[in-house]
Chains A and B, each alone.
Chain A
């Protein structure tokens, strides 16, 4: 009898636990912007610190993490700004693909310069119309060896996604918008896509292109 009552007790506890879990589930899924950045950084740092991986393997592992947490479609729209409407749907897709690859190629190179820096989240705050900024700094050995990196996130169906990176007060979106305005007004959209293609080819991307977009829309 004792055994059976214990069993039913355990069963009841399990049921309560499941009920609680179910109730909690939607709450637990609503990850905050800060947690999103923390999770992204943790995932990236695990890869960077892995002594068993060469730089190529590291980039191969980081690219899907970036693809999970960035919204490259919104980034593309923001950097093209008033030129966005000028592109055909096909050009838009092409641009988003090439631009994501450009970021991957250029920032992928920096995996080799990682020497055990740490990432510290220093704050976060709400921005206009529900966006969120999470402030971090990358800390090296020397106390003056710090880089401020802010992430701007936007809430989307699949959670918070990064739409801009502000390094030492310089917004990536603003900087590329200025460059793309220059390129497009000088040589048009096709020329711009060509410049991106050439840059990517020169940078020798490590992943085949189709793997760069794990969640086609």
Chain B
């Protein structure tokens, strides 16, 4: 019975971590477990940005399989049954529950004003917004923002470590994976919910978010020439932005991206 009483079981980690997918994948709003795979190809030599590539590719393929065979069909059914405003409401409800994570991380990063915004959002949306189903706060100019422990570690100066594709969760890195576990303890679910309810709740959250992203994911699939590389680069770009801020990220983008003939840093990368 000690096991039952222990709210921090491994299963709980996994469920919590899945609940926090929205934190792991900043902005955009794409669920992490719907990252599909790119075309199968042989492993080319030398991937400095992706040393765990064989593992990552396998996980990516698994996530893609899971999405195609379970999550997306479920989301299509959900989308058929649930009116769009209800989906939005449910999405708002789960987003509102991320309050303790965002608030604590804003504070740990010394971001006082954003922390106050997050606190005000939670207060307004939980009350006037009827338990978070309506995002009243955004309408009165209290916009949301991402804050998670992976980002906090980054701002404290910790390097991200190698790229890591997690089962169910999608693109991450070592730093953000540690962040997910820590954020798991900060989540409201840790204090209030039983494991079976949590699993059901997590499934609803995931399927609902996948339903909201049906069109986005479809166009992402058709727009990519290599989905694995596309997802990895998107993850890297958003992580840079989240940790360094848009100005610094833009500055580095300038150097690396736009002047390939004039000694941009990518010349030093390991090319084919």
Residues of A within 8 A of B (CB): 77-78, 81-84, 102, 106-107, 109-110, 113, 127-129, 131, 133, 142-144, 152, 163-164, 168-171, 173-187, 192, 195-196, 199, 202-203
- Say yes or no: B225 contacts A196, CB within 8 Å: yes
Cross-chain pairs A/B with CB under 8 angstroms, 19 sampled = A77-B260, A78-B257, A81-B260, A84-B260, A113-B215, A129-B259, A133-B250, A143-B135, A163-B258, A168-B27, A169-B27, A174-B253, A174-B257, A182-B38, A182-B226, A183-B229, A185-B271, A186-B42, A199-B222
Contact A109 B237 (CB under 8 A): no
A-contact bits for B232-262, CB 8 A (1 contact / 0 none): 1110011001000010011001111111100
**Nearest 4 A-B pairs (CB), nearest first?**
A178-B233, A185-B272, A182-B229, A186-B41
User: Which listed residue (A171, A181, A184) contacts B237, Cβ 8 A?
Assistant: A171
Decide if A174 touches B233 in the complex (CB within 8 Å): yes
Q: Cβ of B54 < 8 Å from any Cβ of A?
A: no
Q: Are B237 and A170 in contact (CB under 8 A)?
A: yes
Q: Is the CB of B228 within 8 A of A182?
A: yes
Name the distance in Å between A129's Cβ and chain B's nearest Cβ. 7
Q: List B contacts of A176 (CB < 8 A).
A: 225
Q: Is the pair A127, B254 in contact by a Cβ cutoff of 8 Å?
A: yes
Q: Which of A82, A109, A179 contacts B267 (CB 8 A)?
A: A82
| Residues of B in contact with A (beta carbons under 8 Å apart) | 27-28, 38-39, 41-42, 44, 88, 135, 138-139, 143-144, 215, 219, 222-226, 228-230, 232-234, 237-238, 241, 246, 249-250, 253-260, 266-267, 269, 271-272
The prevalent SS among residues of A at the interface is helix
On whether the beta carbons of B234 and A175 are closer than 8 Å, the reply is yes
Residues of B within 8 A of A110 (CB): 219
Establish whether residues A82 and B271, one from each chain, have CB atoms under 8 Å apart when the complex forms. Answer: yes
A185-B229 Cα distance, complex, nearest whole Å: 12
* List of B residues within 8 angstroms of A170 by Cβ: 28, 233-234, 237-238
Contact B225 A81 (CB under 8 A): no
Residues of chain A with a CB closer than 8 A to B38's CB: 179, 182
Check if A171 sits within 8 Å of B257, measured CB to CB. yes
- In the assembled complex, the Cα of A106 lies from the Cα of B230 at a distance in Å of 15
Q: Are A203 and B222 in contact (CB under 8 A)?
A: yes
Name the residue of chain B whose CB is nearest to the CB of A82.
B271
